[in-house]
Amino acid sequence: MLDTICFAFKNSGQSGTLTGIFFFMFLLPFCIMAILSILQSLSKPKIVRREPQRVEVPEFDTFSFASVTTTITETLPEQPVQKQTKEEQWQVIADATMEKAMQGDKAARDWVTKHIFTDPVTPESTSSPFISDAVDALKGAGYKASDVRKVANQLCSQNDYASLEDLIQDIVKNC
Considering only residues 50 and 126, tell me which one the structure prediction assigns the higher pLDDT.
Answer: 50
Round the average pLDDT of the chain to a whole number and report it: 75
Tell me what pLDDT residue 130 has: 79
Cα distances (Å, whole numbers) of residue 126 to 3, 85, 164: 106, 14, 15
Residues 129-154: pLDDT tens digits? Answer: 778 888 888 888 888 888 888 888 88
Model confidence at 126, in pLDDT bands (50, 70, 90)?
very low
Contact 165, 159 (CB under 8 A): no
Q: Where is average pLDDT lowest: 26-40, 70-84, 94-108, 159-173? A: 70-84
Residue 96 scores a pLDDT above 80: yes
pLDDT higher than 50, residue 107: yes
Q: Angle CA(153)–CA(121)–CA(131) in degrees, nearest 5?
A: 30
End-to-end distance of the chain based on CA atoms, in angstroms?
Answer: 96
Q: Which of 75-79, 111-115, 120-124 has the highest mean pLDDT?
A: 111-115
Domains with residue ranges and CATH for the chain: 2-42 (no CATH), 84-118 (no CATH), 124-175 (1.10.8.10)
**pLDDT, position 156:** 86
Backbone φ and ψ of 93, nearest 5°? -65, -45
Mean pLDDT across 9-19: 60
Mean pLDDT of 67-71: 62
